[in-house]
Amino acid sequence: MNPIEGMLREGSLKEKTIIVTGGGTGLGKSMARYFLQLGANVVICSRKLDVLEATAKELETETGGKILPIACDVRKTEQIEGVISASIEAFGRVDGLVNNSAGNFISPTEKLSYKAVDVVVDIVLRGSYYFTLALGKYWIDHQIKGTILNISTTYSWTGSGWVVPSAMAKAGVLAMTKSLAFEWAPYGIRLNAIAPGPFPTKGAWDRLFPEELAKKFSFENRIPLKRTGEHQELANLAAYLLSDFSSYMTGEVVTLDGGEVLNGGQFNFLKDVTDEQWAAIAEQIKNTNKPSRNGGE
Ligand SMILES: CCCCC/C=C/C(=O)SCCNC(=O)CCNC(=O)[C@H](O)C(C)(C)COP(=O)(O)OP(=O)(O)OC[C@H]1O[C@@H](n2cnc3c(N)ncnc32)[C@H](O)[C@@H]1OP(=O)(O)O
Ligand SMILES: NC(=O)C1=CN([C@@H]2O[C@H](COP(=O)(O)OP(=O)(O)OC[C@H]3O[C@@H](n4cnc5c(N)ncnc54)[C@H](OP(=O)(O)O)[C@@H]3O)[C@@H](O)[C@H]2O)C=CC1
């Protein structure tokens, strides 16, 4: 496969300031990089300031863009408000938000403590609605037509065992996306979501595919397009959804998973049938049709 290139033209996010939660690592970092390349000012925030500062330095050098790292636990409203004021102070206003921060790990649900459930739900759901609410109030007060992108998952609607707190929280984020897309449309505020399939990141792989499992889990068998996602593919879609090119799109969730979610199709088990078996099956089915065609039983 050829390397995936940036999709939007130069300057597509010029004069926009975008906050990316969890922007110091993984997919958040890749989105931040591309937004900077497209001319946006970017604010990255999460708990670990040292990680954010190292990312900011790296991306500033690489892109020549303006990036502000700020420590913020998305479960704390006063810290969220601090990020918004610091962003306005640095860049004049805020135009976009990516709710990307998350906590997740696999576990049999009955083995979880109450705190273990809370920690995931609070980062994902509470963090996303706190940030959304704080920015929404600011945008409505200042008549800014802001845009929110929520990073969801495909199990927001299929459900999934062994990641139940994450599934509950991501489903809530999806409900918020669609509900507020309608309610805030009169203000020109748009909300959309991306449901990614597997995109290799250290954060996700350490907690969801630890070595023991990774050996057994075959992405090639599971994903119809037979590969995991490239970060630039997700960054391209994210940039489009935050840009004015998508200004007629709101309340949408775009799946980007190589077809993984389609595994639930009822007859998909037929993928293992050989050509020989197909020939025999076709013959059998045709034979059962014959009597009825001749008017018999
Ligand atoms: C390929 C398909 C992908 C599917 C979709 C992917 C979704 C993703 O979200 S991937 C992103 C993953 N990235 C992260 O999770 C990054 C941030 N995560 C963390 O910092 C930790 O994993 C955290 C969520 C556990 C939070 O860390 P921290 O605040 O330090 O919390 P504690 O370590 O104090 O733990 C709190 C609570 O949770 C219990 N716990 C932690 N890990 C496990 C585990 N593996 N199994 C069971 N329980 C766990 C821990 O014991 C604590 O509970 P108590 O013991 O009752 O105090
Ligand atoms: N990678 C994948 O295959 C998939 C990922 N996703 C989603 O993509 C997004 C990014 O995940 P990914 O890049 O893989 O994983 P990462 O672990 O790299 O990203 C998660 C980020 O969340 C931040 N974070 C965690 N807790 C908090 C908190 N309390 N307050 C603020 N920030 C916090 C972390 O920073 P810090 O530790 O500094 O706080 C980290 O930067 C997530 O929403 C995830 O659910 C969805 C489907 C598939």
Interval 66-124: pLDDT, tens: 999 999 999 999 999 999 999 999 999 999 999 999 999 999 999 999 999 999 999 99
Closest CA to 232 of 62, 45, 29, 16: 29
Closest CA to 27 of 269, 236, 287: 236
Active site residue 155: yes
* Ligand 2, atom nearest to 197 Cα: 48
Question: Helices in 64-184 by DSSP H: which ranges?
Answer: 77-91, 114-121, 127-141, 155-158, 164-183
pLDDT at 238: 98
Q: Does domain 17-266 have CATH number 3.90.76.10?
A: no
Q: Quote the tokens at residue 241.
A: 């959804």
Q: Which amino acid is at 68?
A: L
Nearest-CA residue for atom 13 of ligand 1: 203
Pocket of ligand 1 from Cβ distances under 6 Å: 102-105, 107, 112-113, 115-116, 119-120, 153, 166, 198, 203-204, 207-208
**Backbone phi, then psi, for 31, in 5-degree steps?**
-65, -45
d(CA 240, CA 258): 19
* Ligand 2, atom nearest to 104 Cα: 45
Mean pLDDT of 258-267: 94
Which residue in the block uniquely carries the two structure tokens 């709101």? 250
Q: Quote the tokens at residue 100.
A: 């990307």
**Strands 41-46 and 147-151, bridge-based pairing:** unpaired
List the chain domain ranges: 17-266
On whether the CB atoms of residues 134 and 87 are closer than 8 A, the answer is no
Distance 229 CA to ligand 1 centre (A): 23
On whether the CB atoms of residues 173 and 193 are closer than 8 A, the answer is yes
| Catalytically annotated residue among 155, 187, 240, 248 | 155
Position 4 pLDDT exceeds 70: yes
Distance 103 CA to ligand 1 centre (A): 5
pLDDT at 104: 98
Query: What's the pTM?
Result: 0.96
Instruction: State the burial class of residue 128 (Cβ atoms within 10 Å of its Cβ: 0-12, 13-18, 19+).
Output: buried
pLDDT at 220: 78
Nearest-CA residue for atom 14 of ligand 1: 103
- Write the pLDDT tens digit of every residue in 152-181: 999 999 999 999 999 999 999 999 999 999
Between the two ends of the chain, the Cα-to-Cα distance in Å is 54
